[in-house]
A = this chain, B = another copy of it.
Amino acid sequence: MASLLRLPSLLSPSKPLLRRRLPAASSAVGAAAPATAAETRGGDREGQVTPRSVDFNAWYTDVIAAAELADYGPVRGTMVIRPYGYAIWEAIQDYLNVKFKETGHSNMYFPQFIPYSFIEKEASHVEGFSPELALVTIGGGKELEEKLVVRPTSETIVNHMFTKWIQSYRDLPLMINQWANVTRWEMRTKPFIRTLEFLWQEGHTAHATLEEAEKEAMQMIDVYTKFAYEHAAIPVIPGRKSRVETFAGANRTYTIEAMMGDKKALQAGTSHNLGQNFSRAFGTQFMDENGQTEHVWQTSWAISTRFVGGIIMTHGDDAGLMLPPRIAPIQVIIVPIWKKGDEKAAVLEAVDSVQKILKEAGIRVKVDDSELRTPGWKFNHYEMKGVPVRIEIGPRDVTNKSVVVSRRDVPGKQGKEFGVSMEPSILVNHIKGRLEDIQASLLQKAITFRDSNIVDVSSYGELKEAIAEGKWARGPWSASDADELKVKEETSATIRCYPFEQPEGIKKCFMTGNPAEEVAIFAKSY
């Protein structure tokens, strides 16, 4: 089966790069502590991943391979999410799942096979999705009478069921969510960002009024925004999509737009006010308090495994992944270091005690005491994996009852603190403090990067210039859909959103000179 997704030959999955550079087991046993930093890193560093500045896309796929986040599936465009990548997704799930329940939603599960006729019921929906469908035509050895669509999104089947369950205003609001896989036959694929099958959550709600639906759609984009800022340290810009970019079947789409390390925009989550489009198509009605029959007002909203790609491309550097502590599967990696066999017992005892102290304090900590790898190899490995904090413990540290603490986000000696006390309360406070510092610092760095790469424009010429520099352009806009498509054709940039946060004052559309109510943000995007 031909694959559009090809790793550079350097990273061919059958010959993983890191594995090839492994020292033989025998030479690594009794892992020696090198005298200098240079010795520690040895030649391990070189060629590990393509530098970000040289080729951002190659860097991205290299990091995914080297940090063991994902691999390519046998079918073109599919992806295997490996344990470390999946653990990041689980961290996203853990946070959102609680928030969804707090805001009154219940989890449930809808079948993934949808009768083809359902997709055709909502006119703009079928137009948006039909080119991307995977169809089951054979089941149990027989040609099926009606083709089945493998769920690309569930609005149609949800409405089919809602129509059964909703009779009266007393059945509203109906607020549910499902964690599921979805399939979209994408031609240009990229791990996490756009794959033939991906994982997501999709919320679906039905309400008695437009106002309630609108409030719900806004509430959920707000949940996503908070998650992005506070947990993923991604300073997304929340806003409303243009008509052209609105979800197929929605009246309004709200979005969170994130700036990646190459300055391209990533749509990281969306929330749709569906109005009565699906309830009219599927006859989802209720009897109101006055005995009148009305169609329900609906929303849907989703975040997917694409978000993992957003985390990689926001924070990563040439040494690999860099994870915000709040979503890092491992927050602290402890590496024991000893030269002579008789030092081992004391070092490992101290390591064990430090691990226990941190674990009890609720910190996600891992010890790598494998004797098959050198400390230098481990340093690189966990930097590649983006672990926020590293603790080294050697014989001298044991004597001094202290440890060495290194920050993933501050390279070299500046990020290193020697002589941090092993005394439980001091150590815990220190590490918790560092994790908070890193969380805040990653967000601040991303905000600075974002803000220095958004240009306010007041003419189409200025927009073209900003986009040509790879930046985002923000300017007043009230031109036509046709003008929007012209901008796309000429610059490859699209309206990412009309941001919720709008400048004060009178605005004039930079394209037409007509009055404009809002500024829009234009950018190239994934």
A contact set with B: CB distance below 8 Å: 1, 13-14, 16, 19, 25, 71, 73-75, 78-83, 85-87, 89-90, 106-115, 118, 130-141, 145-148, 150, 157, 160-161, 164-165, 167, 170, 176, 180-181, 183, 185, 187, 196-197, 199, 372
Contacts and interface: CB of A to CB of B under 8 A. Distances in A.
A289 to B, nearest CB: 8
Contact of A139 (B118, B134, B147): B134
A431 to B, nearest CB: 23
B133 A75 contact: no
B109 A86 contact: yes
A187 B157 CA distance: 22
15 contacts: A71-B161, A74-B115, A75-B114, A80-B110, A80-B111, A81-B109, A85-B108, A111-B196, A130-B141, A131-B141, A134-B140, A134-B148, A135-B139, A138-B147, A181-B181
Which 4 residue pairs are nearest across A and B when measured between Cβ atoms?
Answer: A140-B185, A83-B106, A78-B111, A73-B111
A25 B170 CA distance: 9
B138 A73 contact: no
A372 B169 CA distance: 12
B150 A150 contact: yes
A468 to B, nearest CB: 32
A86 B111 contact: no
Interface centre among A87, A111, A140, by most chain B C-beta atoms within 10 angstroms, is A111
Contacts of A82: 108
A114 B83 CA distance: 20
Given A25-B170, A79-B111, A111-B80, A135 B134 contact: no
Nearest to A170: B372
A107 B90 contact: yes
Interface centre among A147, A157, A372, by most chain B C-beta atoms within 10 angstroms, is A157
B140 A138 contact: no
B74 A86 contact: no
Given A74-B114, A74-B157, A108 B136 contact: no
A196 B133 contact: no
Interface centre among A135, A140, A165, by most chain B C-beta atoms within 10 angstroms, is A140
A74 to B, nearest CB: 6
Contacts of A109: 80-81, 86, 89, 199
Given A146-B1, A157-B73, A197 B138 contact: no
The A interface, classified by DSSP as helix, strand, loop or mixed, is: mixed
A137 B140 contact: no
Given A81-B109, A86-B107, A118 B181 contact: no
Nearest to A169: B25
Contacts of A25: 170
A254 to B, nearest CB: 25
B19 A167 contact: yes
Contacts of A114: 74-75
A112 B78 CA distance: 9
Contact of A161 (B80, B87, B196, B199): B80
A19 B165 CA distance: 10
Contacts of A136: 134-137, 150
Contacts of A79: 111
A291 to B, nearest CB: 11
Contacts of A111: 73-75, 78-80, 196-197
A205 to B, nearest CB: 13
Given A83-B107, A86-B109, A170-B372, 15 more contacts: A13-B164, A14-B164, A71-B161, A75-B111, A78-B113, A80-B110, A83-B176, A86-B106, A89-B109, A133-B139, A134-B148, A136-B136, A136-B150, A137-B138, A180-B181
Given A135-B139, A148-B75, A87 B113 contact: no
Contacts of A140: 131-134, 185, 187
A143 B448 CA distance: 48
A80 B81 CA distance: 26
A134 to B, nearest CB: 5
A110 B81 CA distance: 7
A436 B349 CA distance: 41
A87 B75 contact: no
A271 to B, nearest CB: 21
Nearest to A2: B145
B135 A138 contact: yes
Contacts of A107: 83, 86-87, 90
Given A80-B109, A83-B176, A74 B150 contact: no
A128 to B, nearest CB: 14
Nearest to A329: B106
A15 to B, nearest CB: 9
